[in-house]
Amino acid sequence: MTGKRLYIETMGCQMNVLDSELVVGQLRQRGYVRTDEMADADVVLINTCSVRQHAEDKALSRLGSLKKPKSRRADMIVGVIGCMAERDPDGITRKMPHVDLVCGPGELNRIPAMIEEIQTTRRRALALSDDHSRKSTPLQRATEYDSVESLDSSRTYGIEGTVLQAYVRVQRGCDKFCTFCVVPFTRGPERSRPPGAIIDEVRMLVDRGAKEITLLGQTVNSYMHQEDGRAVPFSELLYRMNGVAGLERIRFVTSYAGDFGDDVLAAMRDLDKVCEYLHLPAQSGSDAVLRRMRRQYSVRQYVELVDRAREMVPGITLASDFIVGFCGETDAEFAESLSLVERCRFKNIFVFKYSERPGTVAAKRSNDDVPEEVKRSRNQELLRLQERISLETNRGLLGQTVEVLVEGPSKRAQKAQISEQERGDEVGMAETGQFVGRTRTDRIVVFPVETGMVGRLVDIRVIGATALTLHGRMVDGVVADESVGQLSPVAAIAG
Ligand code: SF4
């Protein structure tokens, strides 16, 4: 099998990014190498997202484009993995008969064996979770994670080379059943991973150079694991992680406002490695809409939590998610979302036009009755408001000094380097010079430094600001100094 080429494309949230990373790790152990050329690959895997129809359409279009290459090369294996595979396996195989492998997010550790089976039998292989039952409570299930942990555990052998930032899963699934959301159906019930396994994985990543770890969970703050007869909550996990030598920064996404205890805020205040940043989806600023969405908090409770976070964790920034055009959303209800954004002054928000998902409560019981053009205009209005707020808050940082983890060359510098290489110029990154990093509060900063600084924490004075980016200059040298690594992408997750 040595030298087989693997193409993997990831759609959706950070959870999928991590899943793809772990699948790649498993296949690397079996001799696969990654390729960027989809049509030339021996195995093509599309890691799918089901949160919006648009994401599923994109996956189908990608799969459709594989029909021709597959017809020319019968031995090519085409696989659909992730949430869409779990949600609609029959629809996928009916529409895309050339698909060989369909694997849900809870079964990804079976992919190497499935590929071997397909190579031997030339028959389609399916792996879907057969137990999405919620007979037990989350706390009872807190001891049951071991049975599904093999994919996460395989990471110990899967990562090659150094890594600067990494995701670590602490929890799978979700029990909230927001009426619009497909995640509880595709990723199953909420299960928390044993703290010992998490800390072991964090130590392994730090040994490989990781400075920043982002803990992932669909509702990460509801993490709870039974250990020796007592419950370990999320705040205790943060305390344990803070003790890992060599780790510089701890982040976590995504938090659920309904479950957010002051113990987590106290940990954010007291632990030097936990960054002052909270991604806290609101979804709407209207109590009536929140009730229809079955979010388990009111606008007042959300605002009180935001105020308490600002009080307890000095300098904290908050980001949020909003859905516009949810079933029956009136102009007045949308105006309440605008008021909430104005009131909370988020660092940034992700805005999504409501997209009906089959099988959800909203799809069964409510009408997707807000016209598309109204959704579009509400989307733009909310984003315009946030852009103004982001610009104002970023300008407020002019002249201040912020600590930045140098992640790598900025996109513009990368493009410049590629064209230099294409022209055969010998001008390197040091000359193009612009690097990018993030503050502890998750603000993106672009600044000139010399090559060899990637992976270092540096002090940057802010000299320019747009709504999305700060620009700066290095002040007086390096705060911490160690290894070189790579940049991980960051995207939105449910919650
Ligand atoms: S939106 Fe978040 S909290 Fe609600 S069901 Fe989906 S994953 Fe769970």
Which ligand 1 atom is the nearest neighbour of the CA of 283?
Answer: 1
Instruction: Name the closest-CA residue to atom 2, ligand 1.
Output: 495
Rg (CA), the chain: 23
What per-residue confidence (pLDDT) applies to 79?
A: 97
Task: Report how far ligand 1's centroid is from the alpha carbon of 204 (Å).
Answer: 30
Mean pLDDT to the nearest integer, 240-259: 97
pLDDT band of 140, cuts 50, 70, 90 = low
What per-residue confidence (pLDDT) applies to 135?
A: 59
Q: Which amino acid is at 167?
A: Y
Torsion sign over Cα 345, 351, 354, 360: negative
pLDDT band of 287, cuts 50, 70, 90 = very high
Instruction: Name the closest-CA residue to atom 6, ligand 1.
Output: 181
Partners of residue 209 on adjacent β-strands: none
Provide CB contacts within 8 A for 104, sequence distance 6+. 81, 82, 83, 85, 86, 89, 127, 128, 129, 186
Task: Report how far ligand 1's centroid is from the alpha carbon of 216 (Å).
Answer: 13
Which ligand 1 atom is the nearest neighbour of the CA of 219?
Answer: 3
What per-residue confidence (pLDDT) applies to 452?
A: 81
pLDDT band of 142, cuts 50, 70, 90 = low
Asked whether residue 489 carries a pLDDT value surpassing 50, the answer given is no
Percent of the chain with pLDDT over 70: 85
In testing the pocket of ligand 1, which one of 134, 183, 259, 320 has its CB within 8 Å of the most ligand atoms?
Answer: 183
CATH superfamily, region 138-395 = tm_1862 like domain (3.80.30.20)
Helix (H) or strand (E) holding 227: strand 224-227
Mean pLDDT to the nearest integer, 11-29: 93
Task: Report how far ligand 1's centroid is from the alpha carbon of 219 (Å).
Answer: 7
Mean pLDDT to the nearest integer, 460-479: 87
The set of long-range contacts for 306-311, using a CB threshold of 8 Å and a minimum separation of 24, is 306/280, 306/344, 308/262, 308/265, 309/265, 309/268, 309/278, 309/280
* Identity of the highest mean pLDDT range in 105-109, 369-373, 412-416: 369-373
Task: Report how far ligand 1's centroid is from the alpha carbon of 86 (Å).
Answer: 17
Which ligand 1 atom is the nearest neighbour of the CA of 218?
Answer: 7
What per-residue confidence (pLDDT) applies to 393?
A: 97
Torsion sign over Cα 398, 404, 406, 407: negative
Please state, in angstroms and rounded to a whole number, the distance separating the CA atoms of residues 100 and 23. Answer: 17
Q: Name the DSSP class of 382.
A: H
Q: Read off the pLDDT of residues 95-106 as tens digits, 9 standing for 90 and up.
A: 999 999 999 999
Mean pLDDT to the nearest integer, 33-48: 95
pLDDT band of 129, cuts 50, 70, 90 = confident
Asked whether residue 486 carries a pLDDT value surpassing 70, the answer given is no
Asked whether residue 483 carries a pLDDT value surpassing 90, the answer given is no
Residue 240 φ/ψ, nearest 5 degrees = -65, -40
Q: What is the mean pLDDT of the chain?
A: 89
Asked whether residue 130 carries a pLDDT value surpassing 90, the answer given is no
Asked whether residue 158 carries a pLDDT value surpassing 60, the answer given is no
Instruction: Name the closest-CA residue to atom 4, ligand 1.
Output: 178
Task: Report how far ligand 1's centroid is from the alpha carbon of 495 (Å).
Answer: 5
What per-residue confidence (pLDDT) applies to 451?
A: 75
Task: Report how far ligand 1's centroid is from the alpha carbon of 493 (Å).
Answer: 9
Query: 35-39, 271-275, 352-356, 388-392: which has the minimum mean pLDDT?
Result: 35-39
Task: Report how far ligand 1's centroid is from the alpha carbon of 256 (Å).
Answer: 8
Fold of domain 5-127: Rossmann fold (3.40.50)
What per-residue confidence (pLDDT) applies to 3?
A: 79
Task: Report how far ligand 1's centroid is from the alpha carbon of 362 (Å).
Answer: 13
Task: Report how far ligand 1's centroid is from the alpha carbon of 254 (Å).
Answer: 10
What per-residue confidence (pLDDT) applies to 415?
A: 64
In testing the pocket of ligand 1, which one of 176, 177, 294 has its CB within 8 Å of the most ligand atoms?
Answer: 176
Domain ranges (residues) in the chain:
5-127, 138-395, 401-480
Asked whether residue 417 carries a pLDDT value surpassing 80, the answer given is no
What per-residue confidence (pLDDT) applies to 256?
A: 98
Q: Read off the pLDDT of residues 161-218 as tens digits, 9 standing for 90 and up.
A: 678 999 999 999 999 999 999 999 999 999 999 999 999 999 999 999 999 999 999 9
Task: Report how far ligand 1's centroid is from the alpha carbon of 178 (Å).
Answer: 6
In testing the pocket of ligand 1, which one of 219, 223, 493 has its CB within 8 Å of the most ligand atoms?
Answer: 219
Asked whether residue 132 carries a pLDDT value surpassing 90, the answer given is no
- Report the candidate in 484, 470, 421 with the shortest Cα–Cα distance to residue 442: 470
Query: 41-55, 102-116, 363-377, 417-431: which has the minimum mean pLDDT?
Result: 417-431
pLDDT band of 151, cuts 50, 70, 90 = confident
Distance separating the N- and C-terminal Cα atoms of the chain: 40
Taking phi over 0 as left and psi of -120 to 50 as alpha, with beta for the rest, 122 belongs to left
Which ligand 1 atom is the nearest neighbour of the CA of 295?
Answer: 4
Written out in words, the top-level CATH class of the domain with range 401-480 is mainly beta
Q: Which residues line ligand 1 (CB under 6 A)?
A: 174, 176-178, 181, 183-184, 218-219, 256, 494-495
Provide CB contacts within 8 A for 83, sequence distance 6+. 12, 16, 48, 49, 50, 51, 104, 105, 182, 183, 186, 187
Asked whether residue 421 carries a pLDDT value surpassing 70, the answer given is no
Which ligand 1 atom is the nearest neighbour of the CA of 495?
Answer: 2
What per-residue confidence (pLDDT) applies to 481?
A: 36
Please state, in angstroms and rounded to a whole number, the distance separating the CA atoms of residues 306 and 218. Answer: 20
Which ligand 1 atom is the nearest neighbour of the CA of 174?
Answer: 8
Please state, in angstroms and rounded to a whole number, the distance separating the CA atoms of residues 41 and 172. Answer: 30
Task: Report how far ligand 1's centroid is from the alpha carbon of 181 (Å).
Answer: 6
Looking at per-residue pLDDT, the higher value among 143 and 349 belongs to 349
Instruction: Name the closest-CA residue to atom 3, ligand 1.
Output: 495
pLDDT band of 252, cuts 50, 70, 90 = very high
Q: Read off the pLDDT of residues 289-343 as tens digits, 9 standing for 90 and up.
A: 999 999 999 999 999 999 999 999 999 999 999 999 999 999 999 999 999 999 9
Q: Read off the pLDDT of residues 60-105 as tens digits, 9 standing for 90 and up.
A: 999 999 999 999 998 999 999 999 999 999 999 999 999 999 999 9
Instruction: Name the closest-CA residue to atom 1, ligand 1.
Output: 495
Task: Report how far ligand 1's centroid is from the alpha carbon of 183 (Å).
Answer: 6
Residue 283 φ/ψ, nearest 5 degrees = 75, -35
Question: Given 3-state DSSP classes, what are the helix, strand and coil percentages for the chain, each rounded to the nearest 5?
Answer: 40, 25, 35
